[in-house]
C-alpha cells in the first residue's frame, strides 16, 4: 500500500514538474505559445457575430509596432463586449514561428480577453467572392504596392462575408461608432477606406469587389482603396457637400463627416507629433487616423514630450504606453503597419 502511495506521489510530482517546465517555456517563447483564439466558437463563430472590429497585417511582419498595439488596445477598451480580430499574414505559415523570441506587444494584447489573432489566408478568404478570379491570376511579386492592394482586397472580403467594422492599424479609437453601415469621409465627396463598417453581405461591398476586379490598376496609388470607395459611392449616391458637422445619408449608408475620423487632415499629420497650447477635445470624433503612411520622417512617441500623440497614448492605450514607451532614449522605434494608409 505504501509503495502504491509513493508511486502515485511520484507520478504527481513528475506531472507537476512537466507542467512547470511548460509554463517556464511559455514565458520565454513567442507567438507559438499563445493561442490564436481562446473562444470556444473559434474565429468563424466570433466573426459571424457581425460585431467584430477588424485589423489586418498583410506583410510577414511578426512583432506589432507600438502604434499598431495602441490601435488594437484602444479598440479593445472602447468595444469591451465585441471581439477584436487581428488578421496576420505571417500566421498562415506556421513553419516561420520563432519559438525563443520575446514579444512584449503580443504578450500585452493576448492578455486582453476580447483580442484574437487569426491567420490571414487570402485564397480561402476570397473564395466565393468576385476577388477570387483576380487573386488566382495576379502576380504578387510584380505588384509595386502589393501589401496595400492585398489589404484593400482583404478588408472588403472580410467585412462583406462577416460584417463588422474595419480599421487601419494607425487608427486610435476614442468612443464607440454608433453606425452599422457607414463610410468615412476624408473630405467633401471623398471617401476613405481606412475605417468603414457594414452588416454582412451588404450589396455595396459586393459592388466594390466587382469594381475592384473590373478596374484593377495597382499602378495608380489608392485605385483599389479610397478611390474605389469614392467612385462606388458616387454611383450609389448623389453626393452633396457636408453642412456644418452633420453626416450624410444615402439609402441605408451613412457617409460620416471628416471630423469623425480625420479631424487632422493628412497634409497636417505632423500636428500629432507636436505640443499644442490647448489640446483639442475631439468631441466630434469616434477615432483618430494618425496617417502613418505619411510619416516618412519616422517620427516617434517621446516620453515626457507632452506631444498630442503621447497624450493620446496615455489616455487611450495606457498599457501600450507603459509597456512599450520605455527604451533608454525615451523613444519608440518606428515599424509602420501595412494595414495603415
Distance CA 257, CA 260 (A): 6
State the average pLDDT over residues 243-261. Answer: 92
**In this structure, what are the phi and psi dihedrals at residue 190, rounded to the nearest 5 degrees?**
-130, 120
Distance CA 222, CA 87 (A): 21
**Res 94: pLDDT:** 53
CATH, range 43-94+103-324 = 3.90.550
Flag whether pLDDT at 106 surpasses 50: yes
**Res 49: pLDDT:** 84
**Res 326: pLDDT:** 59
Residue scoring higher pLDDT (209 or 31): 209
Quickly state the pLDDT bin for 339 (edges 50, 70, 90). low
End-to-end distance of the chain based on CA atoms, in angstroms? 71
Flag whether pLDDT at 18 surpasses 70: no
State the average pLDDT over residues 179-189. Answer: 93
Q: Please, are residues 184 and 229 in contact by the beta-carbon 8 Å criterion?
A: no
State the average pLDDT over residues 319-336. Answer: 62
Q: What average pLDDT is seen over the chain?
A: 84
Flag whether pLDDT at 181 surpasses 70: yes
pTM above 0.95, yes or no: no
Quickly state the pLDDT bin for 240 (edges 50, 70, 90). confident
pLDDT in tens, 19-53: 443 333 333 333 334 445 445 567 778 888 889 99
Surface-to-core class of residue 148, CB atoms within 10 Å of its CB (0-12 exposed, 13-18 middle, 19+ buried): buried
**Res 341: pLDDT:** 58
- Closest alpha carbon to 115 in 341, 313, 319: 319
Return the minimum-mean-pLDDT range out of 93-102, 192-201, 326-335. Answer: 326-335
Return the minimum-mean-pLDDT range out of 150-164, 201-215, 293-307. Answer: 293-307
Domain extents in the chain: 43-94+103-324
**Res 48: pLDDT:** 83
Return the minimum-mean-pLDDT range out of 88-102, 127-141, 202-216. Answer: 88-102
Amino acid at each position: 500500500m505504501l509503495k502504491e502511495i509513493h508511486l502515485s506521489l511520484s507520478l504527481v510530482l513528475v506531472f507537476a514538474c512537466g507542467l512547470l517546465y511548460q509554463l517556464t517555456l511559455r514565458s520565454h517563447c513567442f507567438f507559438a505559445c499563445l493561442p490564436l483564439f481562446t473562444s470556444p466558437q473559434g474565429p468563424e463563430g466570433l466573426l459571424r457575430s457581425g460585431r467584430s472590429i477588424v485589423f489586418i497585417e498583410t506583410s510577414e511582419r511578426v512583432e506589432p509596432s507600438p502604434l499598431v498595439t495602441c490601435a488594437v488596445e484602444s479598440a479593445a477598451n472602447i468595444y469591451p463586449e465585441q471581439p477584436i480580430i487581428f488578421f496576420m499574414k505571417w500566421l498562415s505559415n506556421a513553419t516561420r514561428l520563432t519559438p525563443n523570441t520575446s514579444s512584449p506587444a503580443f504578450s500585452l494584447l493576448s492578455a486582453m480577453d476580447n483580442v484574437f489573432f487569426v491567420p490571414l489566408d487570402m485564397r480561402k478568404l476570397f473564395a466565393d467572392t468576385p476577388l477570387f478570379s483576380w487573386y488566382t491570376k495576379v502576380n504578387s511579386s510584380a505588384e509595386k504596392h502589393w501589401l496595400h492592394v492585398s489589404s484593400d482586397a482583404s478588408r472588403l472580403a472580410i467585412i462583406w462575408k462577416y460584417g463588422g467594422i474595419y480599421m487601419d492599424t494607425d487608427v486610435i479609437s476614442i468612443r464607440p461608432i454608433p453606425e452599422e453601415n457607414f463610410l468615412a469621409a476624408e473630405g467633401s465627396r471623398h471617401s476613405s477606406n481606412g475605417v468603414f463598417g457594414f452588416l454582412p453581405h451588404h450589396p455595396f461591398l459586393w459592388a466594390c469587389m466587382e469594381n475592384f476586379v473590373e478596374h484593377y490598376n495597382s499602378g495608380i496609388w489608392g485605385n483599389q482603396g479610397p478611390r474605389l470607395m469614392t467612385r462606388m459611392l458616387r454611383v450609389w449616391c448623389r453626393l452633396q457637400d457636408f453642412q456644418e458637422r452633420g453626416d450624410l445619408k444615402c439609402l441605408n449608408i451613412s457617409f460620416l463627416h471628416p471630423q469623425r475620423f480625420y479631424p487632422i487632415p493628412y497634409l497636417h499629420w505632423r500636428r500629432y507629433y507636436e505640443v499644442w497650447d490647448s489640446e483639442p477635445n475631439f468631441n466630434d470624433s469616434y477615432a483618430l487616423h494618425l496617417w502613418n503612411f505619411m510619416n516618412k520622417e519616422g517620427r516617434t512617441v517621446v516620453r515626457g514630450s507632452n506631444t498630442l500623440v503621447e497624450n493620446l497614448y496615455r489616455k487611450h492605450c495606457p498599457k501600450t504606453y507603459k509597456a512599450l514607451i520605455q527604451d533608454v532614449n525615451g523613444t519608440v522605434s518606428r515599424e509602420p503597419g501595412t494595414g495603415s494608409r
